[in-house]
Amino acid sequence: MIPGTRIPIGFDALIGLAVPGAGDAASAFASLAFFYLGFKLRVPKVILLRMLLNIAIDAVLGLVPLLGDVFDVFFRAADKNLALLRKHGGTLRSAPDTADYAIVAFGLVTALGLLLLPLAVGLALVELAVRFSGNG
C-alpha cells in the first residue's frame, strides 16, 4: 500500500523502480498467463483481443520512465484480464457486449495509427528536406 492511502502497489511497479522494464516484463508474462487461460476456456475472440489490448497498454505505457511506474500503480492489466475471465470464461458465459467490441475496435485503430505514424513522419521529413534543398 502507498503509505496513508488504500492504493496497493503492484509487483511490477516496485520492480520497475529498481530495474526499469523488468517489472513491465514480469507483469506482461502474468497477464499473458490469464490470456492463455482465456484461450483454454474458449472465451470469445473479442474478449481475447481485449485482454491483449490490456497487456499492450500496460507494456507500452509502463515503459515511460517514472510516469510508467505511476501508471503501473493504477492500471493493472492482470487484474483487468482476470475480471474479464470471471465475466466471460466460466461455465455461465455471458456474450461480449458493445463496450467489448468498442474497446477492441479502438485498440485496433490506435495500433494501426501508431504503426503508420513513423511512415507519415518520415514522409513529412523527406518533403521538408526536398523543400529546403531547393529542388522542390
Q: What's 4's DSSP letter? A: T
Enter the pTM of the model: 0.60
Return the pLDDT at 75.
79
Return the pLDDT at 90.
62
Rounded CA separation 131/136 (Å)? 5
* Nearest alpha carbon to residue 56 among 40, 39, 75, 43: 75
Sign (positive or negative) of CA dihedral 50, 53, 55, 57: negative
Q: How does pLDDT run along the chain (136 residues), one tens digit per residue? A: 566 767 666 666 666 666 666 666 777 777 778 888 887 787 888 888 888 888 888 877 777 777 777 777 777 788 888 888 888 876 555 667 787 778 777 877 877 776 777 778 888 888 888 888 876 5
